[in-house]
Structure 1
Amino acid sequence: MVVTFDVSPEKEGSVLNYFYRQLTQTPAEVRGIDLGGKTAIVTGSNVGIGLECSRQLLDLGLSKLVLAVRNVSKGQAAATELSKDINLNPGTIEVWELDYASYDSICSFVERTKGLERLDIVILNAGIMATEARINPSTGHEETIQINYLSTALLAILLLPVVKSKRPLAEQPGRITITSSDTAAWAKLDERNEEPLLSSFDKPGKVDMLNRTFVSKLLGQLFLVELAKRVPSSVAVINMATPMMVYDSEINRETARSLMGKIVEVFRRRIGYTAAVGARMVVDAAVKHGEETHGQYLGLQKLKPMAPIVYSSEGDHLRSVLWRETLEEFSFAGVEDILNEVNSDRKEIL
């Protein structure tokens, strides 16, 4: 589906435009949706954006919520908090372990989802903002790229057949919403000419970790465009949304320890949204829009351009390289067979 934006990617992606939107606009509460009978999974849901997304889904009448968290005890504490002052049926909230740093954990989590009666909404929200480059001992990849891009991409693909099989006949397709960021437009992709691309992020040396976070978000946007080409919206509407700048999400818990981080935190608290307000944009993307958002990016509850490079000829090349290497990375999980299987919906329609 071709989408026409009311602003150019370059203007939307500018720093000044970002702060103007942050200062002058506030997303509305998500209302007018009944999620009764539906099941949702929210990753990174024990704090911040994920916790508030979970709260808002429950407020909309969600019947079953899976909190996917790395630390189960913290997840249980979040479940207790979410249950306060709300009348929930027993078993409405379940806490499942999910560690984005481990492919084995991701595969085990997905296997467990096959036991759900249905799966309607998935919000992939877990992420990190690190202060130093660290290599994941399990995968060999730099942690920011691993958590924010690779593990998120793997989980999105592996959940597709579950979403497809757990959808009651004649109902709307499932929804997969990935938390992203406007900072993808600010990424300095110094590795753009490297092939292989993914392993170039693992090389030793001095790394600008703030930029590395931006890069991880850009990779996610490039991936989404390619994924949406291969997955019909009749199976799942897959999109991304930004919560904008949020000051109490805890994703910046590492960076806030440094002197510069403390200074930035003062600024962030002056102009940032609360996690509850930021979460409105992610929940809106997950429950209030249709197939026009498939493979698209939303901000302030409407469609908006991704990073400018996504729409360029260079972006076309990068998407091709990234897609090929990502599928090679995930070959152990049979992702090509999964994509071929879910794509059968399109062939059947044709």
Structure 2
Amino acid sequence: MLGQPKVSPLPSDIDLSGKTAVVTGASGGLGLETARQLLQLKCSTMVLAVRKVSKGEACAKELREDPSIEANHPTIKVLQVDAERYDSIQAFTKTLKEEVPKVDILILNAGINRFNFERSPSGHEATVQVNYLSNVLLLVELLPYLETSAERSGSPTRVTWVGSRMHDLGEGLSKKPPTGPILEYMDSAETFAKFTRYGDSKLLCAIFVFSLAPRLDSKKVILNLVCPGMVSTNLESDLPQPLRFLVVILKVMRARTVEVGGWLILNAALVAGENSQGKHLGDKEILKKSKYLQSETGLKVQKKLWDETMVEMKKLATLPSEFH
């Protein structure tokens, strides 16, 4: 069937008064809509984490003037972060910890889908840098702060990472895992596969969450992933024109609105319980791990990715105990 299952709105009794939320990639699409819905639920402080501050400020103005939000008089801050750069992640997390007393909800939404091989300033392939490595560094830098936030608020800080079912599609890593170092393989122009790179980057995210979550105290931090399905956003903007046209046509026939996508992200962040710790939600259901991820090969890849990623993170930050 071409369409996607219908999705019900969020429960009507959610009240986020006194809560602080951070949304990355918040200057458009799912990020902006998720921020809007959080504010409609009376979130008191919203941090829009954006690459272009001018665009972020325009979004903040739009949100402040939204009739469904303005009566609540929220504080809306705009902080700059460029997920292609490690130093920008470090500057962002430093500023956040200095200027925002606590964070109750963190939505890791920023992502790209590059069709051509490009390197980030760190030397890593850009899609892997933005979708995976920079999010890992962000968690490394923020985890003690998120745990302290939970102690202050008396409830777990919620971290929801926007993932994708595409991590298990096609002939990507889940079908042909590398025999050597994973990050080195992902950084090679020779092994770059344009049609599976986005899904492969999301596979790295899922594997990392599966590794980190068991190390977390669920009374302090609940970390999960969610795939909101195909949503009408501009994620395909980096694709070549002919392919972009095909994706747009498919979205017209099949895609959910950003409003529905926002419901699904916030269901994972606000409604899903402690049992969602370390789980991947597809729409509102917890997805079963693929046979590959449960296999001996998949478990070896999971350990190898964790070890390689920690070597990378040690170059950049002091690792909290959960990452040892």
Give the TM-score taking structure 1 as reference length: 0.86
Q: Distance in 2 between matches of 1:88 and 1:216?
A: 40
Q: Any unmatched runs of 5+ in structure 1?
A: 1-19, 344-350
1:28 aligns with 2:8: yes
Q: Distance in 2 between matches of 1:313 and 1:290?
A: 29
Partner AA of 2:32 in structure 1 = L
Q: Distance in 2 between matches of 1:293 and 1:280?
A: 16
The equivalent residue for 2:117 is: 133
Partner AA of 1:62 in structure 2 = C
Q: Distance in 1 between matches of 2:71 and 2:92?
A: 24
Partner secondary structure for residue 163 of structure 1: helix
1:73 aligns with 2:43: no
1:296 aligns with 2:279: yes
Partner AA of 1:227 in structure 2 = L
The equivalent residue for 1:14 is: none
Give the TM-score taking structure 2 as reference length: 0.93
Partner AA of 2:119 in structure 1 = I
Structure 1 residues 261-289: Cα deviation after superposition (integer angstroms, max 9, x where no partner): 20221112111111111121111100112
Shift of 1:207: 3.1
- Contact between 1:45 and 1:68, CA under 8 Å: does it hold in 2? yes
Taking only the aligned residue pairs, the percentage that are identical comes to: 34
Distance 1:40 1:135, change over 3 A: same
Pick the aligned partner of 1:260 from 233, 238, 243. Answer: 243
Partner secondary structure for residue 195 of structure 2: helix
Shift of 1:168: 4.2
- Contact between 1:135 and 1:142, CA under 8 Å: does it hold in 2? yes
Shift of 1:157: 2.5
Q: Distance in 2 between matches of 1:92 and 1:120?
A: 15
- Contact between 1:191 and 1:197, CA under 8 Å: does it hold in 2? no
- Contact between 2:224 and 2:277, CA under 8 Å: does it hold in 1? yes
- Contact between 1:184 and 1:307, CA under 8 Å: does it hold in 2? no
Structure 1 residues 20-48: Cα deviation after superposition (integer angstroms, max 9, x where no partner): 4x725122211221111000000001100
1:284 aligns with 2:267: yes
Pick the aligned partner of 2:25 from 44, 48, 56. Answer: 44
Partner AA of 1:23 in structure 2 = G
Pick the aligned partner of 1:228 from 194, 207, 213. Answer: 213
Q: Distance in 2 between matches of 1:140 and 1:36?
A: 42
Describe how 1:168-179 pairs up with structure 2 within 5 A.
Answer: 168-169=151-152, 171-179=154-162
1:123 aligns with 2:123: no
Q: Any unmatched runs of 5+ in structure 2?
A: none
- Contact between 1:129 and 1:210, CA under 8 Å: does it hold in 2? no
Partner secondary structure for residue 330 of structure 1: helix
Partner AA of 2:125 in structure 1 = E
The equivalent residue for 2:313 is: 330
Partner secondary structure for residue 208 of structure 2: helix
Q: Distance in 1 between matches of 2:244 and 2:148?
A: 45
Partner secondary structure for residue 262 of structure 1: helix
Partner secondary structure for residue 123 of structure 2: coil
Q: Distance in 2 between matches of 1:332 and 1:67?
A: 28
Q: Distance in 2 between matches of 1:263 and 1:315?
A: 33
- Aligned-residue RMSD, C-alpha: 1.9
- Contact between 2:53 and 2:80, CA under 8 Å: does it hold in 1? yes
Q: Distance in 1 between matches of 2:112 and 2:10?
A: 26
- Contact between 2:3 and 2:253, CA under 8 Å: does it hold in 1? no
Structure 1 residues 127-179: Cα deviation after superposition (integer angstroms, max 9, x where no partner): 0011201011x211110111111111221232211111123447111010000
Indicate the structure whose relative CO is greater, using CA pairs within 8 Å and at least 6 residues apart. Answer: 1
Partner AA of 2:201 in structure 1 = S
Q: Distance in 2 between matches of 1:320 and 1:206?
A: 21
- Runs of 4+ in structure 1 displaced over 6 angstroms? none
1:246 aligns with 2:231: yes
